[in-house]
Amino acid sequence: MATLGVPQNTIAVLQKYHFNFQKKWGQNFLIDTHVLEKIIRAADVAKEDFVLEIGPGIGTMTQYLCENAREVAAVEIDRNLIPILEDTLSAYDNVTVINEDILNLDIVKLAEERNGGEPIKVVANLPYYITTPIIMGLFESHAPITSITVMVQKEVAERMQAGPGTKDYGALSLAVQYYAKPEMMAYVPPNCFMPRPNVGSAVIRLTRHEVAPVEVSDETLLFAIIRASFNQRRKTLANSLHNSQEIPLSKEAIQESIQELGVPLTIRGEALTLEQFALLANIMKKKGTL
């Protein structure tokens, strides 16, 4: 079986099927075997693992996953790629290709049927325009996931692991860190892809927390507070929360909550840690109307 991580093999497959890259799917295929090996190592894929791959493309990384895992489910949205995947993965009997939008897939059911409900590993080379909804969808599904190892835009990877007070810190940083421990595994230059993207990429591993790092009585409220705090970055936390449709508390109750947290009323959301956001959510929850 020709290794697709070698550029000329990728070109040969694309020409054979007269494949045209779809801008709407944000398709960029990896053409660097060293990077592929790094991703497999970063994801810590072992023989007993069931791996969910999102966006296999023409099967470049899928081949590596099949070699290393017990079983692979590869979810591809572009139906034009399905016959190509049937060809490039024909040597493997431990892979299932699912032509579906990952945002519509029941991952809990997939883990139940294919892995006895045991935790699965997710590996993906994600289209940059939809990275955040996919990652948040995976976490919010509460599917049994050990880790998510993804290739994303470098700036997005940096946002995921940013801390308070930095320019990259935001709602994504807090949401990811609430669910998982982010670790940057590798930077990947544009020339490792076909077609070549305009931005640098990075491989980041998100290892799911077994227990949430903070105790919060209402997860929905926590995320509403976080979203509101970063919707208008230049405003104070008090004003941002007061302006949010999602937070049905009076201005006075919001100010009291912030004071109870023990921070100045002039503070901005970007200065708060995840722990402080959780405390604030718990204080506001007790204020009654929530």
Q: What DSSP string runs through 201-250? A: EEEEEEEEPSS-SS--S-HHHHHHHHHHHHHTTTS-HHHHHHT-TT----
Q: What is the pLDDT of residue 24?
A: 57
Q: What is the pLDDT of residue 110?
A: 95
Residue 142: pLDDT band with limits 50, 70, 90: confident
pLDDT of 276 over the 70 cut: yes
pLDDT of 141 over the 80 cut: yes
The SS3 of residue 190 is helix
Domain residue extents for the chain: 7-208, 219-286
Beta bridge mates, 123: 53, 149
The backbone torsions φ and ψ at residue 83, rounded to the nearest 5 degrees and listed phi first, read -65, -30
What is the average per-residue pLDDT within 7-21? 74
Interstrand relation of 180-188 and 201-208 (parallel, antiparallel or unpaired): antiparallel
Q: What is the pLDDT of residue 238?
A: 95
The closest alpha carbon to 226, from 275, 192, 161, 187, belongs to 275
pLDDT of 199 over the 50 cut: yes
Give per-residue pLDDT as tens, 99-122: 999 999 999 999 999 999 999 999
Least confident segment among 23-27, 133-137, 269-273: 23-27
Q: What is the pLDDT of residue 18?
A: 67
Give per-residue pLDDT as tens, 143-171: 999 999 999 999 999 999 999 989 999 99
Give per-residue pLDDT as tens, 67-84: 999 999 999 998 989 999
Rounded to an integer, what distance in angstroms lies between the CA atom of residue 119 and that of residue 115?
8
Highest mean pLDDT among 6-10, 91-95, 122-126: 91-95
Yes or no: domain 7-208 corresponds to CATH 3.40.50.150 = yes
**Residue with the larger pLDDT of the pair 187 and 11:** 187
Cis-peptide into 264, omega within 30 deg: no
pTM of the model: 0.89
CATH class of 219-286: mainly alpha
